[in-house]
Structure 1
Amino acid sequence: MHVMQYEITLPADYDMEIIRERVATKGPLLDAFPGLGLKAYLIRERGKGSPVNQYAPCYLWAAPEGMNSFLWGPGFQGVVDDFGRPEVQHWTGLSYGEGPSAGALPRTAVRRRERIPPAVRPAEAVEAALEESVRLAAAPGAVAAALAVDPRRWELVHFTLWEQASPEAVGDHYEVLHLSAPERERLARGRQW
């Protein structure tokens, strides 16, 4: 599994209905995209629990070929044409788990990023993060939870989809506008090694 996200920060007075309409019309285009485990179409709105207006979709790729096909194909080019070329963040998958609300349509997502301090052994940090990811996946209202790492920056990322808002969850909170999950069943469950 590969986790990918790009963040498009928009002006403070940007009409987020434009993004809602974009997702409503273009979101279903990836509902059958080969290699895509799931894509959560995420937004944050300034003044509604966020300091910024942002469109920040997150992808869990079941196969790298799907990710490459998207990045070098017309799908991502549409994003580039409309918003400019965003930095694409990418993490190697460490674990994935379905939650008690796996059959529900997620309404919110929480992403928590954490650096592994230089004094901490990477394997110890990953083991602790794996335990946290299992706990998140098992929490009431959780749809799914993924854990990934960027070993270049020694950064862990927890990504959790929730059936409803989870105000106690720590991290950046997003609204889920649409979920494309054509190959969700191909996302390996549990530890990825």
Structure 2
Amino acid sequence: MHAMQYAFTLPADYSMDVVRERVARTGHLLDEWTGLGLKAYLMRERGVRGSAVNEYAPFYLWNTVEGMNSFLWEGGFQRPADDFGRPSVRQWTGLAYEEGGAAGSPARAAVRSRRPVPDGVPLAGVAADAVRENGRLAALDGTVLTAAVVDTSRWELVHFTLLAHDDAAAGAEGDVFEVLHVSAPGRDRLPRGRQW
């Protein structure tokens, strides 16, 4: 499993309804993308759920590197890059994936929590802790799914969780997003549990 996210930070006075309408119009285009586990079309609105910015920031879980590369190099990514400018694309290696108790429900909110992997600690312990935390998040009321991923170029650990209702995000540590749409052609093929 591979994870990917890019973000477009938009002006403070930008109408986020433009983003909502865009996703309503084009979100289905990845509903059958080969190699894609899922894409969560995410946004944050300035002043809502503690966000200081307007941001469109889709998050991807890929089953195959080929699917991800096809998206980046053969057209899927070109459309948002043309419309908003080409952003930096973050990529992470998967550590763990779990479906939650609300797996059959539509996702309404998402939480992305990030933390550095400290220097001088055994990496096996960090990875084991991330897998345990992923299991804890999956067991919380309202969890649709959750993934733990790591960027080894920055030594940053990320937990990404989709939630069935906004209340489930209350008090969550991390950035809270509104989910506009989920394309999940290969969600059932995302490998469960730890990824090694």
TM-score (norm 1): 0.98
Alpha-carbon separation, structure 2, partners of 1:15 and 1:60:
28
**Percent sequence identity over aligned pairs:** 60
Contact 2:95 2:130 in 1 (8 A): no
Give the equivalent residue in structure 2 for 1:27.
27
Residue 121 of structure 1: how far off its partner (Å): 1.8
User: Are residue 179 (structure 1) and residue 182 (structure 2) matched?
Assistant: yes
What amino acid is aligned across from residue 102 of structure 2 in structure 1?
S
2:47 is equivalent to residue 47 of structure 1: yes
Alignment of 1:3-82 (within 5 A): 3-48=3-48, 49-82=50-83
| Structure 2 counterparts to residues 62-141 of structure 1, below 5 A | 62-141=63-142
Per the TM alignment, residue 140 of structure 1 is displaced from its structure 2 partner at its CA by 1.0
In 2: Cα distance, 1:121 partner to 1:10 partner: 39
Give the secondary structure class of the aligned counterpart of 2:119. coil
Aligned partner of residue 144 in structure 2, secondary structure: strand
Offset, 1:66: 0.5
Aligned mates of 2:55, 2:160 — CA distance in 1: 17
Give SS of 2:76's match: helix
Match of 1:159 in 2: 160
**CA RMSD in angstroms, aligned pairs only:** 0.7
Moved over 6 A (4+): none
115-124 vs 151-160, which deviates more? Answer: 115-124
The aligned amino acid for 1:57 is P
Find the residue that maps to 1:175 and give its secondary structure.
strand
Q: Deviations over 1:122-155 (max 9, x none)?
A: 2211111111111001111100000011111111
Distance between the aligned counterparts of 1:4 and 1:172, measured in 2? 16
Alpha-carbon distance between aligned partners in 1 of 2:128 and 2:182, rounded to the nearest angstrom: 29
In structure 1, stretches of 5+ residues that fail to align are none
Aligned length: 193
Deviation per CA, 1:54-100, whole angstroms, max 9, x where unpaired? 00000000111110000002210111110111000000001100000
CA distance in 2 between partners of 1:142 and 1:42 (Å): 16
> How far 1:105 sits from its partner (Å)?
0.4
